[in-house]
């Protein structure tokens, strides 16, 4: 089945530790996105990548890093510089940038990150 997978479902981080959240898609989509969701808030864009080996900062990129070495994978690292990392993280993908149905973003099931 085609779709977006995120792992793990729950992740615990100790103070000062870097953790990496996985996002994989087999939809052959070009663009991938990472969002953060806090309680009672909408989604905020962390990073996005329109093609392999290229990515752009979103609205809240500080304390996060990404890589896009393969089309199907877009891992997000939450670094120790992110002082308030507890949130729900959602990965999304979309076929491309031009007009038509390609603008629709499809989301993975999310990873809930908690700080110990």
Partner 1 sequence: AQKVTQAQTEISVVEKEDVTLDCVYETRDTTYYLFWYKQPPSGELVFLIRRNSFDEQNEISGRYSWNFQKSTSSFNFTITASQVVDSAVYFCALLSGANSKLTFGKGITLSVRP
Cα radius of gyration (the chain): 14
Among 14, 42, 83, 84, binds partner 1 (CB under 8 A): 42
Q: HEC profile for 10-54?
A: EEEECCCCCEEEEEEECCCCCEEEEEEECCCCCEEEEEEEEECCE
Among 27, 45, 60, 61, binds partner 1 (CB under 8 A): 45
- Smallest distance from partner 1 to CB 66, Å: 15
Among 7, 17, 86, 109, binds partner 1 (CB under 8 A): 109
Q: Residue 8, preceding bond cis, omega within 30 degrees?
A: yes
Cα gap 71→100, rounded to integer Å:
21
Site string for partner 1, 1-40 (x = CB under 8 A): ------------------------------x-x------x
Tell me how far CA of residue 104 lies from CA of 29, 54, 95, in angstroms: 11, 20, 8
Nearer to partner 1 by Cβ, of 13 and 44: the residue is 44
Among 63, 65, 88, 115, binds partner 1 (CB under 8 A): 88
Contact residues: partner 1, CB under 8 A: 31, 33, 40-45, 48, 50, 56, 58, 88, 90, 92, 94, 97, 101, 103-110, 112
């Amino acid at each position: 089945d085609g779709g977006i997978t995120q792992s793990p479902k729950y992740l615990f981080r100790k103070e000062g530790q870097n953790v990496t959240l996985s996002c994989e898609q087999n939809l052959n989509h070009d663009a991938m996105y990472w969002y953060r969701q806090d309680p009672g808030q909408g989604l905020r864009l962390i990073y996005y990548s329109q093609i392999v080996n290229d990515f752009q900062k979103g609205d809240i990129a500080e304390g996060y890093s990404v890589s896009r070495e393969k089309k199907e994978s877009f891992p997000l690292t939450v670094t120790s510089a992110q002082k308030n990392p507890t949130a729900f993280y959602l990965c999304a993908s979309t076929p491309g940038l031009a007009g038509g149905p390609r603008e629709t973003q499809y989301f993975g099931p999310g990873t809930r990150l908690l700080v110990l």
